[in-house]
Amino acid sequence: MELIDEIEQKRREMENLALEKGLGAPEVLKVSEELDQLLNQYLKGSQSAC
């Protein structure tokens, strides 16, 4: 799976959890941190390609 696809999947997972449990739920925060890590990986890759 491509990194951009993983990011999109994690974003959808976070949105669904937030709708179900609320934005401050621990599960939502955990997924948000995972999404941040994926986004950081993506940004590192795009910066090194320049």
Position 15 scores a pLDDT of 98
Tell me the pTM.
0.88
pLDDT tens sequence for the chain (50 residues): 899 999 999 999 999 999 999 999 999 999 999 999 999 999 999 888 76
CA distance 23 to 46: 29
Spell out the SS3 assignment of 3-48. Answer: HHHHHHHHHHHHHHHHHHHCCCCHHHHHHHHHHHHHHHHHHHHHHH
Position 48 scores a pLDDT of 81
